Structure 1
Amino acid sequence: MADVRTATAGQFEPAIASPTEPYGPRPRRAISRRNILIYGTLALVSLYYLLPLWVMVVTSVKGMPEIRTGNIFAPPLEITFEPWVKAWSTACTGLNCDGLSRGFWNSVRITVPSVIISILIASVNGYALANWRFKGSEVFFTILIVGAFIPYQVMLYPIVIILREMGIYGTLTGLVIVHTIFGMPINTLLFRNYFASVPEELFKAARVDGAGFWGIYFRIMLPMSLPIFVVAMIIQVTGIWNDFLFGVVYTKPDVYPMTVQLNNIVNSVQGVKEYNVNMAATLLTGLVPLIIYFISGKLFVRGIAAGAVKG
């Protein structure tokens, strides 16, 4: 009997896996053709985008004698921030030689109200279109979507006439209204898709508890919507701050935004071409949207992933 048990045990021993043997899928090698191709491509693309930035930064802290040597990729032998100071405070942007400081504050006065008003209105529009269907809501939504894809150039002159008749052409108020209107279609689409992804049971439960339109919006939807508000804010700040077309068409020199003044500095045909000042002015103009994105980048990704681009 003991021999049978021993033979039986010996017969089934090979079928029992040793606890020290590896199990599961075989791990991939860290260095393989696939990884080399992926990381090599990513490295080349990163270099492609970072190389111009490197040239701008190193040129902005060089003096003109060093720039004239022609080695644009070399780091500066002597760092100077005089080009940054001149770009901000003394560079000529047409008839005025007060640098980009005036245009910076003009851009702030344009961007802040345009972003706040357009996002607030678009969030209410998206909330109503997603949860409070009314007669003609689909037609209204279709009109908004069509408006988001109409080329700006088609409406430039009609808007000039409208602003002139309203008496606000050439003012910051007129430009704020233009940015607010043009920002609402795409933001309404974002908010509508985000609110449509919220469980409908939550909305119905609030209705049963007696909450109305504004009660549900302020107490339930608004606290849940921080990621999509960040998405809309980044889109609006980037679009409005970097805008050149509307700024040059709907304002006058005294209230030009920063981008228009940057164009006047870079394309000036008078005097010596100061490439270090031009690079410093370009970096100063792009700092605001860059800082905002780095601060709120994680929330931006969360907003996109939570339904910002869902149909």
Structure 2
Amino acid sequence: MNNDTLQGFREAFANAKHIIVIAGAGLSAASGIPTFRDGGGMWRSLDATSLATPEAFHENPSLVWQFYHYRRQKALQAETNTAHKILAKLAIPHYLKKVAPAAKSMHLITQNVDRLSVRALDDLEKELEEQGLKGPSYRARTGSVVQMHGKLFEVQCTKCDWRAEDFSTPLCPALGHVEANIQDYTDAGSKNHDIPISLLPHCPECQELARPGVVWFGEKPYHLDQINSLVFKADMCLVIGTSSTVHPAAGYAFRVRRRHGHVAIFNLYPSEKDENASSLFRGACEDILPQVFPELADP
């Protein structure tokens, strides 16, 4: 890591007033959450991106629900990693002041649906409370984690307004039966396990078919008004674990940079968006963030 780059970033971060973090799939990769864009996708024999669309669900809700059952299982088995934990500390005023004494706000805008950032923050707040550390300095502000692509553990009706978080697994017996019949998820997509619609998750209010509560390709992300307001105010933007190819999140760093804010990119691979960077850190975020913020790394 270049010492001049690190020093310049730390000085800018210390003086930042409104900080935003744009997080992508690379943040959760070390936790065992496969990304949409790594070799072969999440289901090796199927293009994962082709399953994350309204059209795919309309055409084959059974297959899409099996795919999301798999994703829910992976997220339930996953543990938060060092990068999640450091970002959680940045959301707590007590820790934020150690590295950004001028900061007035910090928000994590995540494209991930795995809930690991929320879990890391919940775990940290619980730990602080158990230590007797209470009050505003030891609590994140409401809305500090913005889940723009929805929630993997939320289920919503395809017809009415019903939606609810549900961490049970399987969501319905049929999904569990299919899982038991598949020995290896690398060939899951090549095996035909068609579940009748009547046996898939349904809305308890109107009995219509339910769907995962995530934003699919082609759908409008959540909380755009809030996010646009945060981006407009931000004078510091950290881009972590994303190649910034999915809009509208792909343009947020550029908007901050255009208004003379500082943009720091933390990513494993080069991207054409690197030209927007004021500071560039190459490597896995779970390795780089502890070096950049040693005060926040666990001993």
TM-score for both structures, normalised by structure 2: 0.23
The structure carrying a bigger strand percent of its residues is 2
The structure carrying a bigger helix percent of its residues is 1
TM-score for both structures, normalised by structure 1: 0.22
The structure with more radius of gyration: 1
